[in-house]
Each structure stands twice: as C-alpha cells, then as structure tokens.
Amino acid sequence: MSEKLFVHTPAHLLSSRLNFLLNRNLQPEVACQEVSIEQLDFGEIKEASAQLREKQLNTTLHAPFSGFNPGSSKKRLQKTAHSLVQQSLQLAKVIQARCIVFHPGIPYQSKEKVQQSWLEHALAFWPEYIEQAREIGTIITMENIYESTSAVYQQLFASLGSDTFGHCFDVGHWNIFCDEALEDWFDRLGRHVKHLHLHDNFGESDQHLPVGAGNIDFSALFSLLAKHKLNPTMTLEAHSLGDLEISLQQLPTYTTSI
C-alpha cells in the first residue's frame, strides 16, 4: 500500500488492532470520536505508534468533534475548543501524526451571516495552533461537513492557508451536502488540499459505505487530483473491518497511485 494511505482506527482500539495493522502494512488514522481524549491511555497509544514506526508505518489523527466549534462567539464553546485542540496537539506529538483532521463546527444549514461570524472567530482562533503544529511537525487540516459551497473555506484558507494549515476534503460529505460541482470545488480549493477522507453514500445520508458501494464518482475525484497535480494523504473511513476490506480492494480500480 502507498505511504499516503491511512485507515480509520478508533483511538481506544489502536492497541487491539495493532497486529492487524502490522500484518497488513496499514497505517491508522487514530480517531478520537467514540472515547474522549481524557479517557485514552497515552502510554499505550505511544507504544503502539512506536511499533508502527518500526515498520515505517505512520499515523494521522482525527481530533474530537463533539462540542467543538473554534468559530463560536460563546466563551464556553471557545474554552472547550481551545482545550480540545491543545489535547489533540499533545496526542499528535505522542504518536507523531502526519496531520490532524478537525471538523469546522459550523452548524447545519447555517446562513451566510452565521458563517461570517464563524469565520471571524476562527481566523482569530487558529494562528497560535498553526505555529504549534509547525513546531511538532504536523499539519492541521479542516474537513468540510455541512457546507453547501466552498465560499467560507475560500476565505479561511486565503487568510490562513499554509504548509501547516490546509483542507481535508471529505468526498462523502460533499456528496450529501454540497451544491457545488466537484470540479469547481477543486478549482477553488485544490491548492489547499492536504488530506482526503474516502467513503461512499447515495447522497442522502452519511452511510460511510465502502468505496464504490454508493454513487460517488471516484474516478472523477482522482482525475481532478491528477489535473491539479495533487498528491495528498488519504484515509479510508470505513467503520467496520469488512467494509475496509472492500474499500482496499476497490480503491486501486480508481487510481494507480495506491
């Protein structure tokens, strides 16, 4: 498998799945979703990641997203966001993550006024953490979730985009929520794409189906990557080992770079 490819792995299951990952030469995206960071055993995770590195296998990190909104105007939510980013950077340092994926925290079906308020606060929130990420050798990426267009991200990355702060393009979320054509999204944001989340659906709900099991045109996605000369890291976001096996089998039919 390519050194660019990662697979969704819940953080609290990293140690129990270690042999599976090592035997298959698979790199985990350590996902802090089902168990809070405070409940994780950092020592155990550090040992697992060290064993992966012994086989030249890297990690990425998916930060917690429950209650996370770095663009909120509310002090309580800002305090929570700061705490979660600080914890995420600490864990990224422990596992030497190549990148960290954060959700934006923009509410579902937000109007332009709400998105502009979010943007104003997010622009003030991220710079100190971009610098911290640079110091520990990782990249912060922002994942698209509910946004129907790329507009707010164009403004965000125009101000903050750098080698240390970029875009995680989630094609599954794009397929459900976005009104903007895939080609237009990449024309506007392609140069900021650092990471991909790959899973499938039929455009109605976030099913996290295996690659090729829904109606997403993955050939078009990889053609756009080639057109824009992009070579991002990517994660198969299958939420079961069975679906992961299907995605691993199907992905090479869409690209020769894996």
Q: Would residue 246 count as lying in a domain?
A: yes
Q: Would residue 19 count as lying in a domain?
A: yes
* CA-based nearest residue to 216, from 171, 169, 149: 171
Q: Would residue 198 count as lying in a domain?
A: yes
**Which pLDDT band holds residue 36 (cuts at 50, 70, 90)?**
confident
Q: Reply yes or no on whether the pLDDT at 67 is more than 70.
A: yes
Rounded CA-CA distance 152/215 in Å is 26
Identity of residue 222: F
**Which pLDDT band holds residue 246 (cuts at 50, 70, 90)?**
very high
Q: What is the pTM of this model?
A: 0.96
Report how many domains make up the chain.
1
Q: Would residue 36 count as lying in a domain?
A: yes
- DSSP one-letter string for 222-241: HHHHHHTT---EEEE--SSH
Rounded CA-CA distance 138/217 in Å is 30
| Torsion sign, CA atoms 134, 169, 84, 29 | negative
Contact 202, 242 (CB under 8 A): no
Residue 10 in 3-state DSSP? strand
- What is the tens place of the pLDDT at every residue in 74-122? 999 999 999 999 999 999 999 999 999 999 999 999 999 999 999 999 9
Q: Reply yes or no on whether the pLDDT at 7 is more than 90.
A: yes
* Secondary element (H or E) of residue 206: none
Rounded CA-CA distance 21/28 in Å is 7
Contact 7, 244 (CB under 8 A): yes
How high does pLDDT run on average in the chain? 95
Which DSSP category does 102 fall into? E
Q: Would residue 200 count as lying in a domain?
A: yes
Tell me the average pLDDT across 147-168.
Answer: 96
- Helical spans, DSSP H, in the chain: 18-24, 42-54, 75-95, 112-125, 127-136, 151-160, 171-177, 182-189, 218-227, 241-250
Residue 236, beta-bridge partner list:
7, 198
Q: Which residues form the domain of 225?
A: 5-253
Q: Reply yes or no on whether the pLDDT at 1 is more than 80.
A: no
What per-residue confidence (pLDDT) applies to 56? 97
Rounded CA-CA distance 183/212 in Å is 19
Q: Which CATH number covers residue 83?
A: 3.20.20.150
Q: Would residue 143 count as lying in a domain?
A: yes
- Work out the angle at residue 5's Cα, subtended by the Cα atoms of residues 237 and 256, and round it to the nearest 5 degrees: 110
Rounded CA-CA distance 142/238 in Å is 20
Radius of gyration of the chain (CA): 17
Q: Would residue 258 count as lying in a domain?
A: no
